[in-house]
Chains A and B, each alone.
Chain A
């Protein structure tokens, strides 16, 4: 990659929370703040000692310092003092008119403009990004609501400048969210962005044409958000407790604090489960002793409690559609933003209002910042700079004992790459193995595609499982596959080269993947059967050898029992009845264990050739654990003598 590009961060400067993200290696990353939070409360506080705190810490001390703790500053950005009479009443800090009639915050005898306060939040976001990236950050993309007017946008830009950031772009929050979901790659679509956050609800209708997003209409409710839901739950808990115990928890600040936490927790939990328990032991006490609170809250009850809040989203959505001059059927995409859209009922509502399955991410409260970071990445030219590495579309492997395909290189492995595995022979004295190179996802060799075949000859005669044949697969950057088989004993080698995936096109690859899914269950069964056959065959072979070599370490009775079990297993191996074979095999296993134990007591353990090894026409795996042998070590003790 070329010389280092300067990073451009993306900031979602929110009413209640802010979030920062940046592109790293072509992927957007949400950056944690110094307290470990992925979002930062948009709160600034001026402390008595003259210092200033921002974020979670400022929020924590709000009750001790209400007149010096500034939150929801976004509501005053770029507004005149006479425009914000309503908003003014809702905050505990004083708002006055500045020299040009603009709304400013009064802290003791000083005044701060909203851009100055916002700059303090932006500075913290910038600092977090610098700590994460380990370099100075000078450039940013900042988001604003689609309904922000020029003066509000200018104020946001000013805030960036004060914070020492060169604001390259101010983009609309719904546009950023659409970018985060990759909708800019589509053509001529109409997108509804449904943003239900902590303190505000916004609906925006966008039209996308030639990669440019145009805002068709916006609507919303500036005082509707997740906090309202928490309050509903809190009130319900307190009312229920009063009904049961006759004590009003609303007068008890300490209990109220716990109720608030419990309400928020219950709300979050009910997004994934349908019922939760609110369990607050020792919530309060009266003359009769301590009182506990234990309540069950179901998802449907929560939905009933908050029905009126959710209903407040209806009108703005319908109005936005009307203003855009569109009907429900003309909306192509619905995008969900904001923490509250995790609630199933709200997802359902959005779906109903716009008639489309909405796009929803894992972290709806981060999508705006992610979109801003993507925009930053495009501006920095980082997105173009990626080197695309290819992957193998299908799994490659070879055929082993019983017609099973043993995987060597799994699909989706990034190339160039090289893998190898060691195999062995299936029969005593076998001098050649066939390497049957396969491509596909099915467990059985026959169901996959043959890429090529070759033989490795001249293996010195040896008992099965002893020769070591290394099979090496190598795919170069052009997708050409080289397969080599190497006899480790003689260094004899054979190889084959298969060019460019043998012309499988995309459709064929998809077809093969689908087939693998369709046949998954039956294939698994077939494979298990063959594995059982292999294990049984191996066990019979090993048992026979052990009996032969055991001499007088094992008494005749035991030997006879084992011999009988071997014959039984061999008989079933000829037949097709899986269940009978399994029974015979398990019996043989039992007898062999009994015999092994007898030998163990007197001498070093006998060889148990690995059960996976060997194949009629070729080779079997030699490495790997020995599933039907818990006790004996896989030592070639007797052969090596």
Chain B
């Protein structure tokens, strides 16, 4: 420090041109260092943000890959639903049908464990956010009510992955 001061003083007094040049060089370098430091900090921040985004995206990918798998499995469940509808009044093979119903339940339980829920539609007011209307039917009751679900809708962690296919009521005589 003392050397510095002395040197500075000396240079000022004598107007030492070499010292002036060096001073300029140092200032230039300091500016350079400061700029580089800012750049480095920005780069580090960029990297950090990138890591965070990657982690988030990875999480989403895991969720999404489940979604694709679950969507591919749902037609199996639809098929079982339809099969049970068709065997409703079948008194033969009662135990076998009961057993198959238990298998269906196992399947549903497994899906539930991974965050799958069904859309509750029949008898509810029609809501296009969760239901796809495939047709309208005249009804004595109020209009815009779900009369029948032709295919169940499903949510995965509260996000709709497949809308319910529904028949919606309309007033008699309305076109």
Contacts and interface: CB of A to CB of B under 8 A. Distances in A.
Interface of A: 1, 25, 35-36, 45, 48, 53, 57-58, 60-64, 253-254, 257-258, 281-282, 285, 289-290
Given A61-B126, A257-B165, A285 B86 contact: yes
B168 A60 contact: no
B135 interface: yes
Given A60-B128, A64-B136, A254-B134, A282 B83 contact: yes
A57 B126 CA distance: 12
B134 A257 contact: yes
A418 B83 CA distance: 63
B128 A253 contact: no
Given A36-B159, A57-B128, A64 B165 contact: no
A281 B79 contact: yes
A257 B133 CA distance: 10
Contacts of B116: none
Given A257-B134, A290-B83, 5 more contacts: A36-B159, A53-B128, A58-B128, A64-B144, A290-B82
Nearest to A260: B134
Contacts of A285: 86
B134 A281 contact: no
16 contacts: A48-B144, A57-B129, A60-B131, A60-B132, A61-B126, A61-B133, A63-B134, A64-B168, A253-B135, A257-B150, A257-B151, A281-B82, A282-B79, A285-B86, A290-B82, A290-B86
A61 B83 contact: no
A582 B159 CA distance: 57
Contacts of A282: 79, 82-83, 85-86
Contact of B133 (A1, A64, A281, A290): A64
Contacts of B134: 63, 253-254, 257
B150 A254 contact: yes
Contacts of B86: 282, 285, 289-290
A129 B56 CA distance: 18
A285 B42 CA distance: 67
B136 A63 contact: yes
> Interface majority SS on A: helix, strand, loop or mixed?
mixed
A1 B42 contact: yes
A281 B82 CA distance: 8
Q: Interface residue tally of chain B, by bracket? A: 20 to 34
Contacts of A53: 128
Contacts of B163: 60
A492 to B, nearest CB: 33
A325 B103 CA distance: 67
Contact of A60 (B50, B79, B133): B133
Most A CB within 10 A of own CB, among B128, B134, B144, B160:
B128
A62 B83 CA distance: 30
Interface string B37-61: 0000010001000100000000000
A58 B129 CA distance: 9
B104 to A, nearest CB: 14
Contacts of A48: 144
Nearest to A57: B128
B150 A35 contact: no
B133 to A, nearest CB: 5
Interface in B107-138: 126, 128-129, 131-136
A290 B79 CA distance: 12
A282 B150 CA distance: 12
A598 to B, nearest CB: 47
A282 B128 CA distance: 26
A82 B134 CA distance: 34
A281 B79 CA distance: 6
Interface in B128-160: 128-129, 131-136, 144, 150-151, 159-160
Nearest to B81: A282
Interface in B69-111: 79, 82-83, 85-86
A298 to B, nearest CB: 21
Contacts of B135: 63, 253-254
B160 to A, nearest CB: 7
B21 to A, nearest CB: 28
A281 to B, nearest CB: 5
A337 B127 CA distance: 35
Contacts of B151: 257-258
Contacts of A281: 79, 82-83
B77 to A, nearest CB: 12
A211 B105 CA distance: 62
A62 B133 CA distance: 7
Nearest to A34: B159
Nearest to A389: B43
A60 B158 CA distance: 19
B65 to A, nearest CB: 14
A64 B144 CA distance: 8
A60 B126 CA distance: 11
A290 to B, nearest CB: 4
A61 B82 contact: no
A16 B36 CA distance: 50
Given A257-B150, A257-B165, A35 B136 contact: no
Nearest to B135: A253
Most B CB within 10 A of own CB, among A1, A48, A57:
A57
3 tightest A-B CB contacts, nearest first: A282-B82, A61-B128, A60-B132
A64 B122 CA distance: 16
B2 to A, nearest CB: 37
Contacts of B129: 57
A48 B128 CA distance: 12
Contacts of B128: 45, 53, 57-58, 60-61, 64
A60 to B, nearest CB: 4
Most A CB within 10 A of own CB, among B85, B135, B159:
B135
A63 B134 CA distance: 7
A19 to B, nearest CB: 19
A336 to B, nearest CB: 25
